[in-house]
Amino acid sequence: MDAIDVIVTKRDGRELSAEQIDWVIDAYTRGVVADEQMSSLAMAILLNGMNRREIAGWTQAMIRSGARMDWSALPGRTTDKHSTGGVGDKITLPLAPLVAACGGYVPQLSGRGLGHTGGTLDKLESIRGWRASLSNGEMLDVLGKAGAVICAAGDGLAPADKKLYALRDVTGTVESIPLIASSIMSKKIAEGTGALVLDVKVGSGAFMKTVDQARELATTMVELGTDAGVTTVALLTAMDRPLGRAVGNALEVAESVEVLAGGGPADVVELTVRLAREMLSAAGLSGGKDPEQALKDGSAMDAWRRMISAQGGDPDALLPRAAETLQITAPSSGVLSRLDAYGVGLAAWRLGAGRERKEDPVSFGAGVTLHARPGDLVREGQPLMTLHADETSRFERALGALEGAYTIGETADPDLLPLVIDRITA
């Protein structure tokens, strides 16, 4: 095989053979194919696309580049969820223990935030003592004790994807739907879960800005999961406004605990329960306890406490708080018709809740608390949101991100997306 032949095949719009795909992924992982050659191939894929067979072959080749996890020692069925990311998207935190409380086993491999979208591991690390890095044996131990584990993926899981993702990030090829889908699904399939529910976000605060883009990505990922023998379902959900009222690491943990205690914002509760039911159904476990009941009777909270404790965390510890706050009030009376997710996410990032580079630290207490949601009546001078930061110097740039991010009018925005837009199955 020759890297140039593979590049030229896709450059000219032709289909890559299974042998070409297997060779180029293996050779790139071993360093035989250079970064500049793989970046050229990635650009050709971005411009000319891939068919279902090519994407499935590409995904399987990335899975074969590393280890594949096995949960057959567990006494029950595994089920997992993946979100494409958004602003205030803390759903994984209450969802994993909720599904565990209803009889499922949830091996959840998560990531860190980069840019305006938050990362699940950053949120959980605001809990004193909690550990994100676990060995496979430790993961199995936590699953046995709590029914759910949320942790970082090890280096041995789809290493080809880790290398290719970093390359795509600096070569303008992140937007390729075949490469996005294979990146997500190679890790999820290698994770070894028996069922998977995908939460594909749509809107300004999401990677997919339109419903059509999100539907194409969701369909591609559902096909990949199905072809790999994993029962896979996708929901398209709204990210044109933030999810819930808290945006920021410790702020979102606190809101997640509210949900587990039977309270919390209505949209967070609704989506958590809906995704939990989907996960249980996909795993063939929908005949047991209903997630809504598990939130009411305290069993979901019990599962949360077991999960956090099993990973070294103290579920009773006080969460970090930012040293400084700044309140933003309504400039006029009316209806909060629009609250842009991207603007709020960018503000939280500038306040210190996110990172610009992977190695940057985050401020656990930084972020935004929302006091009004789209459709709410507000009065002039009423608090709209509170900004949290460790240094007052961060407020000016955060305020700049919020310029034009909200509108007060006479009625709610008629173009506001429904919370759950569509459901995609095989």
Whole-angstrom distance, CA of residue 207 vs CA of residue 227:
25
Dig out the tokens for 305 from the structure: 């406490």
Candidates 80, 122, 161, 227; catalytic one: 161
Candidates 81, 112, 116, 168; catalytic one: 168
- Is 168 an active-site residue? yes
- Is 187 an active-site residue? yes
Candidates 77, 81, 163, 187; catalytic one: 187
Candidates 10, 82, 90, 188; catalytic one: 82
Whole-angstrom distance, CA of residue 273 vs CA of residue 278:
9
Query: How is the chain split among helix, strand and coil, in percent rounded to 5?
Result: 45, 15, 40
- Is 393 an active-site residue? no
Grouping H, G, I as helix, E, B as strand and the rest as coil, residue 55 is: helix
Contact 265, 255 (CB under 8 A): yes
Whole-angstrom distance, CA of residue 129 vs CA of residue 314:
6
> Which distant-in-sequence residues (6+ apart) come within 8 Å of 176 by Cβ?
42, 45, 46, 168
Torsion, Cα 337 343 344 347, to 10 degrees, reads -150
Residue-wise burial string across 312-340, b where 16 or more C-beta atoms lie within 10 A, e elsewhere: ebebeeeebebebebebebeeebbbbbbb
Identify the helix (H) or strand (E) that includes residue 45: helix 35-48
| Catalytic annotation, residues | 82, 161, 168, 183, 187
